[in-house]
Amino acid sequence: MIVAFHGNGIYYFKEYGVGRLNKNNQRNNPKKKDKYYSMLNAAGAVFARLGFHKATISLIAAEAGVADGTIYLYFKNKDDILYQFLSYKTAYVFDKMRKAAASSDDAEVKLRNLIRCHLKEFQEDKDMAVIFHSEVRNLRDLEPQTKNISKIYLDFLTDIIETGQVQGIMRRDLYLGLAKRFVLGSVEGVINTWIAADGKYDLVAMADPLVDLYMNGIKHRE
Amino acid sequence: MIVAFHGNGIYYFKEYGVGRLNKNNQRNNPKKKDKYYSMLNAAGAVFARLGFHKATISLIAAEAGVADGTIYLYFKNKDDILYQFLSYKTAYVFDKMRKAAASSDDAEVKLRNLIRCHLKEFQEDKDMAVIFHSEVRNLRDLEPQTKNISKIYLDFLTDIIETGQVQGIMRRDLYLGLAKRFVLGSVEGVINTWIAADGKYDLVAMADPLVDLYMNGIKHRE
DNA sequence: TAAATAAATGAATAAATATTCATTTGTATT
DNA sequence: AATACAAATGAATATTTATTCATTTATTTA
């Protein structure tokens, strides 16, 4: 029986349909849920450490403290583990970001909060950060049709910049498509550097200087 | 016999030393060199299309028009193919970039030329662009001790920004470490987007608006 | 408590593919 | 032309590891 849980707490049976749920309805059985998440997190740790390719099912199972075969009761195959890991993390992180960006009416504050949230969540979940940043190819292969992760993020930025233009605090002559990528790319670059430095320093402290750069650029002014 | 060539035209014997070179000294034998580069480029094409992991030696050999075994006369193993591909491309591209950045005394022009060169070279070699951007993990695994590719690039940026500060055209209150990553990250982001769009539009045209963003930011001014 | 059902196990299997190497083909030397 | 050496071949091998499934263990139901 192949089962999958989701971040919102509801889970579903992938292969055999909900009809096969046992009569006692384990939808909220906390033990099962725990086991699922411990496998997901174990997978995240192993993927982050070795990369998707060099990670083996045996290692993931060992890290989660279950038998190899057990993995296949919860996931369709190895790809599916990565897919579910990413879905779970993406849903979680975007929810946070959405709230952060909505926390103010002022576009510059929105931007600052979004960036701060981004840096904070990645700092607090380095496995996720590593996987997002180094399994780029798999991300594309796994959800080629779906709009990818950055797409959603770029939409936040579109809103923010357009708001800022209306408010008269951001330039109207911007090439919006480029400006968005300029912002996203540089946050990612900063996170990459932090990962390369093995997460040694405080990432969130970069938020304010970064937003200052977005707003004011590097040109000297009187 | 395991042989390796380098971008500068000199090559060396990896396993058995130069003593094993045949008497006729084939160092400049153009046929052999051609075969080596056709294998490198074939590998690049296959890696870009399928990713390192899903690329097989057989496919690379087929694409290069040689037998599987021949690959192992020129490369130690699969990893070594990627490693040599990257070394070759990196050397080539950094040479171009160095010249671009040196082409003017004015820091803003230096920056503009560097960015333009970066975009141009990646646009003209999409396989390379794809591999640089999606084999992040392998890049780290292959040269963990060596300063990685971005390190060299960041050094160019340090020079440029420091020059700009001396010239009084760039802010002196910049957090340099961050400003550099801000620039590199956003160029990479722009290239990523271009790759995702399958290289459909002109990447080099992004150079000027991008430098404008670096210099002036997105804030509205009177 | 016994029977029935669900969950977990891990050794065995199957498939993929990197790498080897005995043999063949090509090239230079005398 | 005959010999020696270099390069290339590709079928066979070896290894790795994802996945399966017959069996065992745990839990629920009657």
pLDDT per 10-residue tile (average), chain A, 222 residues: 39 29 36 82 95 93 93 92 92 94 95 97 96 81 64 92 96 94 93 91 96 93 82
The answer to whether some atom of strand D lies closer than 7 Å to the beta carbon of A81 is no
Asked if pLDDT for residue B174 goes beyond 90, the answer is: yes
Identify the residue whose tokens are 């968005």.
A180
B56: left (phi over 0), alpha (psi -120 to 50) or beta: beta
Give the SS3 label for residue B178: helix
Asked if pLDDT for residue B10 goes beyond 60, the answer is: no
Determine what percent of chain B is predicted with pLDDT higher than 90: 69
B77-87: string of b/e by CB count within 10 Å (b at 16+)?
ebebbbbbbbb
**Residues 107-166 of chain B in contact with strand D via CB under 7 angstroms:** none
Chain B residues lying within 8 Å of A170, measured CB to CB: 218-220
Q: List the structure tokens of A47.
A: 């993927």
B3-5 vs A11-13, strand pairing mode: unpaired
The answer to whether some atom of strand D lies closer than 7 Å to the beta carbon of A23 is yes
The model's pLDDT over B65-115, given as tens digits with 9 standing for 90+, comes to: 999 999 999 999 999 999 999 989 999 999 999 999 999 999 999 999 999
Chain B residues lying within 8 Å of A188, measured CB to CB: 185, 188-189
What confidence score (pLDDT) does residue B18 get? Answer: 27
Nucleotide nearest to B66 (CA to C1'): D8
pTM of the model: 0.85
Q: What are phi and psi of A104, to 5 degrees?
A: -150, 165
Q: What is the DSSP letter of B11?
A: E
The answer to whether some atom of strand C lies closer than 7 Å to the beta carbon of B58 is yes
Q: Judging by beta carbons within 10 Å of its beta carbon (0-12, 13-18, 19+), is residue B73 exposed, middle or buried?
A: middle
Nearest Cα residue in chain B from A186: B185
> Is the CB of residue B114 less than 8 Å from the CB of residue B40?
no
**Are B189 and A185 within 8 A, CB to CB?**
yes
Cα B110 from Cα A43, distance rounded (Å): 45
Chain B residues lying within 8 Å of A216, measured CB to CB: 171, 217, 219
Q: How far apart, in Å, are the Cα atoms of B22 and each of A27, B14, B200?
A: 72, 15, 47
Give the SS3 label for residue A4: strand
Lowest-pLDDT choice from B19-23, B118-122, B204-208: B19-23
Nucleotide nearest to B71 (CA to C1'): D8
**Are B220 and A161 within 8 A, CB to CB?**
no
Q: Which of B57, B94, B58 is nearest to B79 (CA)?
A: B57
Q: How many angstroms away from the CA of B191 is the closest CA of chain A?
A: 10
Lowest-pLDDT choice from A38-47, A136-145, B39-48, B189-198: A136-145
Cα B27 from Cα B5, distance rounded (Å): 9
- Res. B25 pLDDT band, cuts 50 70 90: very low
Cα B134 from Cα B47, distance rounded (Å): 10
What confidence score (pLDDT) does residue B136 get? Answer: 74
Asked if pLDDT for residue B13 goes beyond 60, the answer is: no
**Are A219 and B216 within 8 A, CB to CB?**
yes
The answer to whether some atom of strand D lies closer than 7 Å to the beta carbon of A30 is no
The answer to whether some atom of strand C lies closer than 7 Å to the beta carbon of A2 is no
- Res. B148 pLDDT band, cuts 50 70 90: low
Cα A161 from Cα A163, distance rounded (Å): 5
What confidence score (pLDDT) does residue A210 get? Answer: 96
What type of residue sits at position A165?
Q
Give the SS3 label for residue B41: helix
CA of A88 to C1' of C26 (A): 59
Alpha-helical runs (H) found in chain A: 30-54, 57-64, 68-74, 78-102, 107-124, 126-134, 136-142, 149-166, 176-196, 207-216
CA of B1 to C1' of D2 (A): 26
Cα A75 from Cα B162, distance rounded (Å): 52
Nucleotide nearest to B32 (CA to C1'): D7
> Is the CB of residue A122 less than 8 Å from the CB of residue A86?
no
Nearest Cα residue in chain A from B193: A181
Q: How far apart, in Å, are the Cα atoms of B38 and each of B124, B143, B199?
A: 17, 24, 23
CA of A87 to C1' of D22 (A): 34
> Is the CB of residue A13 less than 8 Å from the CB of residue A2?
yes
Each as own residue / partner, the long-range contacts of residues A150-159 (CB below 8 Å, 24 or more positions apart, any chain) are A150/A184, A150/B192, A152/A94, A153/A94, A153/A97, A153/A184, A154/A180, A154/A181, A154/A184, A156/A97, A156/A98, A156/A101, A156/A114, A157/A111, A157/A114, A157/A183, A157/A184, A159/A101
Identify the residue whose tokens are 């690959």.
B71
**Are B209 and A175 within 8 A, CB to CB?**
yes
Lowest-pLDDT choice from A143-157, B13-27, B160-174: B13-27
Planar angle of CA A42, A46, A52, nearest 5 degrees: 125
What confidence score (pLDDT) does residue B139 get? Answer: 75
B11-13 vs A3-5, strand pairing mode: unpaired
The answer to whether some atom of strand D lies closer than 7 Å to the beta carbon of A34 is no
The answer to whether some atom of strand D lies closer than 7 Å to the beta carbon of B32 is yes
Mean pLDDT of chain B: 83
Of residues A193 and B120, more confidently modeled: B120
